[in-house]
Structure 1
Amino acid sequence: MQNPNITILKTEILSDNWYTLNKVTYSIRKKDGTEETQSREAYDRGNGAVILLYNRVSRNVILTRQFRLPTYINGNATGMLIEACAGLLDHDNPEDCIRRETEEETGYKITQAQKVFEAYMSPGSVTEILHFFIAEYSHDMKINDGGGLEEEGEQIEVLEFSFEETLKMIDTGEIKDAKTIMLLQHLRIKGIL
């Protein structure tokens, strides 16, 4: 159901080079009944999915490390970020997407993933909603080295850490990626590891 207090007046494309940056002008009815016209920019990059692979026996998790330009230009000296495996849906449903991304990025072939929640990651400027998953892994599920797709310019390092180590890495700032922190905390809160 659409919000009756919001009317979209105009949408202008400011850029569609990588994804789409729109300037949206809209009317909003305020609590006092008056209307005000506002405009905001919203970046539309599609929706995504993220997964945290975990092993109950070893109490380990699989994460990745790759260069992230926005973090580099915002003070991350190396630009490298440790994070959970993730990707854009690209017209797939979230479960199919995350199985594909898991295999491409980590080299693990999973058959089942448990969806745990959805979240907007930066609702003030980005339209993306992220579907969060967890799945158990074992080393016999490893079918290739992972590392991402060369044609997409991906150079992804696959990492295996103890769960306890990752919690310390959050405290030290070695892990700063929000989606990864959320999934690690989910495992902790639910007592999965």
Structure 2
Amino acid sequence: MNAKKSILLIVLVLLIDQISKIYIKTNFQLGEEIYVFDWFRIHFIENNGAAWGTELGGKTGKLILTLFRLCAIVGIGIWLRNSIRDKSHNLLIISISLIFCGALGNIIDSVFYGIIFNDSYGQVANFTTSQAYGTLFHGKVVDMLYFPIWQGILPEWVPGLGGKFFTFFNAIFNIADSAISIGVMILLFFSKTIFPKK
């Protein structure tokens, strides 16, 4: 896979990610949900911190996380460039491209959304600079894809969770998260093909 195809993949996924986030942000109030199917919903939340919404010590923690993500994406970019230059396996280049654009998509939210949008609490957000909800590097990541494939009370024999209400799959995520997950799964499932023993 050459550089042009890699860049095309990155731009395409990044556009889908940002268009979907901007659409949700400017058409949904925070917490609003639409049922597409029983097992698939559009549910608008904002991620204030790291993975799964983990908080990291307020504004300072958020800034450190964003700066770490920026450093990580530079490293991923170098890995991608070297893999293309070395004519590595196509699956490796595809996986790194997906991880790169997914990380970049969430970084855009973290860096810029705080200064270009107003709040989504009880209202639909607008592009604004006079009533922005945050500052540079302190934006929130927009998540909206929710797949509660199964919900119900688990049987009593299930260790630790028996008799309790349980939802599978309970995470709410976005296109960028999906790109990262798919890229990592490609690396895991096809590792012998991508990294053959010499």
TM-score normalised according to structure 2 size: 0.23
Structure with greater strand percent = 1
